Amino acid sequence: MTALHDDLAETGAPVALRAYRPGTAPAGVIPQQRPAVEGAAPSGPPTDTTPVAPVEVSAVDAAWTRFTATHCPEAREELILHYVPLVTAVAGRIGMRLPSTVEHADLVSYGVFGLIDAIEKYRTDRAVRFESYASSRIRGAIIDELRAMDWVPRSVRTKARAVDRAYGELEALLHRAPTEAEVAQRLELPVGELRAVYSQLASVNIAALDEMLAGSDDRPGAATLADTLGDRRADDPAGSVEAQETKYLLSRAIECLGERERLVVVLYYYESMTLAEIGRVLGVTESRISQIHTAAMARLRTRLLDAERA
């Protein structure tokens, strides 16, 4: 192959060269820098004489610069709109530990005040990132507003958590519902003081009557908490049946009485006559009517008890 290349070189014929891939060289050969060609763009990393493009300043940095220098309301509004997602994230984390009665939108509105306060008090020359500083301010604003709106003192909330924790620990240990004495012993409190705590905790948890029950959808007519409350004006089915049965048994028992005893019972309970008036109707004394009434009541009671046993 070498002789063939020499012959081609002598005859002036073009020599077929191996394909060259930039950045590669045969083993043992150190690649040399190609000579620069006039008009060609310089290759390789820029030297000190290569002009560097100016760094673009973001809109947030520009807003911080304007707000720090002039406290411009427009710049503050831009910063508030930019960091609103931070408020939403903090409110979401706090809302996970709150009851369902607390609206997420309310938490976000409370947190916006904390964000505004953080923007007003933040200094750009600090080594703390604004997101870290604002998160604590937003969380504090939400918690402060929740405490201000809470009608239950913090001490009662602390007692409620302690009682719930004691109940959970005793249930896991005893595998049953603990008694008051066991809970009081767990909390190292007298039973009387524990009952006083229960009376304080009665007003801790409230619920709206129009709140949808768990598992219900938001359609009109869906089940609410008010639907589960009993109507005292409505008739109790079981009580109505028992009353009808009692009337039937009582009427049967009255029919089994003697004529004079039945007449005394009817005049006394249905006609609302006194014993003296019944005595004048029957031509006997009031004491005799009282004896007849007592005997009739004893017989009726006996018959009703026998009917219940049967």
- Residue 33 and residue 43: Cα distance in Å, rounded? 10
pLDDT in tens, 129-164: 899 999 999 999 999 998 888 777 778 778 888 888
Predicted TM-score of the model (pTM): 0.45
Q: Which two tokens stand for residue 13?
A: 């014929």
- Residue 112 and residue 142: Cα distance in Å, rounded? 9
- Higher pLDDT: 45 or 74? It is 74
What contacts 181, CB < 8 A, 6 or more positions away? 191
pLDDT in tens, 247-261: 888 888 888 888 889
Average pLDDT over residues 4-16: 43
Sequence-ordered strand ranges (E) for the chain: none
Window from 178-182, 214-218, 297-301 with minimum mean pLDDT: 214-218
pLDDT in tens, 195-233: 888 887 776 666 677 766 655 555 555 677 777 777 777
Check residue 222 and report its DSSP letter.
Answer: -
- Residue 226 and residue 274: Cα distance in Å, rounded? 48
Q: What is the reported pLDDT for 18?
A: 42
Q: What percentage of the chain carries pLDDT values higher than 90?
A: 23
Classify domain 59-149 at the CATH topology level. Rna Polymerase Sigma Factor; Chain: A (1.10.1740)
Distances (CA, A) of 122 to 56, 75, 172, 300: 23, 14, 48, 89
pLDDT in tens, 67-100: 888 888 898 899 999 999 999 999 999 988 887 7
Classify domain 252-309 at the CATH topology level. Arc Repressor Mutant, subunit A (1.10.10)
Distances (CA, A) of 271 to 143, 267, 277: 69, 5, 11
Contact (Cβ atoms closer than 8 angstroms) between residue 275 and residue 268:
yes
Contact (Cβ atoms closer than 8 angstroms) between residue 224 and residue 211:
yes
**3 state SS of 182:** helix
